[in-house]
Amino acid sequence: MPPRDSVNLESLSIHLPNGLGPSAFNLSPPPACPITLNISMRLIASSIRDTAEGDSMSGLGVNYSVVCKQIYALAACPGRNWSGPWELMWELSRIPLSLPDVEDVTVEVVMPKALLHADSAVYRAVYTKQTDAGSSMNAAKAGVETQSKGPDSEENNTTRRCEIRDLKTECIIGLHPHERSEKQRLELDISVEGVDWKEWKHKEFADAVYDFVTMSAYGTIESLIHALGSHLFELPILRNSHNNSRNKNTYYQPSISITIRKPSAIPYAVPSITIQRTAADYPSGSASASASAPASAPDLRYSEGRKRVFIAVGSNIGDRVANIHRAIKELESSGCEIVGTSRLYESEPMYVEDQDRFINGAIELYTSLEPLELLRLLKRTEKSVGRKKTFTNGPRVIDLDLIFYGDEQIMIGERGDKPDEDGVGWLECPHRSLGEREFVLRPLADIAPNLVHPSLRQTNHQLLSRLPSTSPPPLQPIIPFSGPSKPLRLSSPAIPYVMAIFNATPDSFSDGDSSRTDPEQAIKAVEKLFADENRSPDILDIGGMSTRPNSDPCTEEEEVNRVIPLIQAIRSSPNPRLRTVAISIDTYRASVARLAVQAGANCINDVRGGSEPGMLEVMAETNVPVVLMHSKGDSKTMTSAQMTDYSSYEGGVVEGVRTELREMVDRALKKGVKRWNIILDPGLGFAKTQQDNVVLLKSIRELIEGADSPLKGYPMLVGGSRKGFVGKIISRQIASERSFGDAALNSYAVHTGVVDVLRVHQVGEAKDAINMSVAIRDA
């Protein structure tokens, strides 16, 4: 609102004989309670001037004494029972809004006895006059009474706010040993806007904050405040962007502000940290998926009667990734809605060690099945995928374990009860040994780090952090290739795998050759890449259309004819290394990607990050790893001033790429692309200036692992090989003469420890640079 003169009433103390909504102890009926009112009446432009000219009681535009008495009489009326703050505030606002000189009214109700652990709950709202029948100003000057919308009007939703002030709690917080020896006091202020106020309960919300912070044990306030924000957006009041119980066409965009003070941190001051967050700030969690739902369609995941459930998945026999995918597909066909996945991890077997490594992950789903019905479905799915009973903790084609069923603790039957025909004997949820099982906790922490265990009263993140650390870690994330290829196990710090560029094109900027469009010639060129087993690529990236700046796209038919026969020839090659190598299709066309996967490719590398029509749907449908590359525009416009402008981002190109990659990830997850399949590429050379490319490369670690980075946990691919910016720096116009520049780029990427895949033209040389760089880095 533009600034305007105002008349204000502050600290108006009122005793409400019949209370105001629920009490701190949930007493019914609520006891009498005190409140403090703060009211600001914004005036029309001429009000103060007109009053000054009259300078008399009769000339007052707003007689604040009269307004104060009327408000007090209405609020404290012994016969009134206020259902809650919004009804009281709306009724009070009508008193000043009836005055011709008042344009709008801000009402704030401070409730000092509303909460046990906080100083007060504070409600604030802005009310304006109706303008349905024309200008409220003209109506007021004509003597017509004007009123705001009713207390439950959704039009006022965005003008309402509730704040929990000075919530006091104690927890372990700090990095130094003396700070972790005993609990310290923290003070919090939390304000909430944009929720369904008919469902809002300040006591439940404040209790959720208190419980989470009390059970936390973070080293820094930064970690605590970020985790608290993420946890709050998993609460139903903030998670549900669509109101299922009332107005089906009403959508909410919740936002929160959190301040945490640590009074004991330093002797002569009280430090604090404040953040403002929306659901979009937590894309790795499920809250972001609901927040990004289009306004044209309700989010059906939250329909009544459905439970939020977490399932642990594992396999160590056969094509382990394919087994997991098949099990998920069968659960979906049985009515379960998959809404989130973790990364996939490879781990050594526990308890019985004489068996192959497991691949483990976690999925989040919604179901209307009761716990025992769901367990039966899981057992039937295991049998359908091919699991046969062996022995306890033995090898298995698929393992599906019910980890969390809402926030319930469930015990049906007794441990050791004889299983029935479905394999169900008893059910304990959550499992009593969950707190010691990293192969379950680590995947859970990917998708629900702040979900609180119903009996241990600790979050998944906290339970995971309490496990002993080992080197190397017992679980390593993977790029989940399947089919004839094997998953690639990632390390930390990263030792990059090599993706070989193979352009089956006549016009690529560095290696275009018309002979490569002939499948027979192309397969011979591919075979040369695998002549030396120690210097052959881990992934083969096949492209049938040049995407260099200013290139002209070939037709879809040409692209298909260049890549599909070549992929088929590689998959039928007598050379076992060719038959089993991971093949990536470098395309932004959905139809080409689908045909390539059908022909044997098991990765989609999209320079446009899934922005072309139908591509995200194909990525979800084919269920293969995908590379989402950051880029803007097309081959003709990517170098324009508009596409290379990141000045709107406070952090320049690094923050711009981080934000836009996060948006790509959000769109992909919403379309059903699994988190464990996503690989990110910052897009060196695409829609960046010369300086941008260098800054972005230097900041790769910050991009992926910076404080609160929404990209943390996703594998990173870097492809700078023979790019134009390398040629400019080392003064080499001919692309094939840029190998020393490439070696330096690749070595720096290794040094960062966060680059998992390097996309290169010269495979052997790149592997040499990687090996040498790793030896120096890890010495």
Structure tokens at 332: 């979906």
Q: What is the Cβ-side half-sphere exposure of residue 568, based on CA atoms within 13 angstroms? A: 11
Query: Distance between CA atoms of 234 and 252, rounded to whole angstroms?
Result: 15
Mind telling me the catalytic residues? 723, 759
Dihedral through CA 731, CA 735, CA 740, CA 741, nearest 10?
60
Count of residues making up the chain = 779
Q: How many CB atoms lie within 10 A of CB 320?
A: 25
Decide: 10 and 109 in contact? Cβ < 8 Å.
no
Decide: 99 and 73 in contact? Cβ < 8 Å.
no
Q: Which amino acid is at 200?
A: W
Pairing of strands 272-278, 475-479: unpaired
Question: Quick one: DSSP state of residue 108?
Answer: E
| Residue 756 Cα distances to 249, 749, 750, angstroms | 44, 9, 9
Decide: 279 and 241 in contact? Cβ < 8 Å.
yes
Helices (H), 492-583: 519-529, 556-571, 576-580
Decide: 106 and 123 in contact? Cβ < 8 Å.
no
Q: Nearest 5°: phi and psi at 81?
A: -115, 105
Burial class (CB in 10 A: 0-12, 13-18, 19+), 720: buried
Decide: 191 and 257 in contact? Cβ < 8 Å.
yes
Q: Which residue has the tokens 């004489």?
A: 354
Structure tokens at 261: 């003070």
Query: Distance between CA atoms of 47 and 57, rounded to whole angstroms?
Result: 14
Q: Which residue has the tokens 């703060």?
A: 38
| Residue 47 Cα distances to 7, 58, 145, 359, angstroms | 10, 13, 18, 72
The helix/strand count (H/E) of the chain reads as 23, 25
Query: Distance between CA atoms of 273 and 334, rounded to whole angstroms?
Result: 46
Could you write out the three-class secondary structure of 22-63? CCCCCCCCCCCEEEEEEEEEEECCCHHHHHHHHCCHHHCCCC
Q: How many CB atoms lie within 10 A of CB 410?
A: 17
Q: Nearest 5°: phi and psi at 324?
A: -65, -45
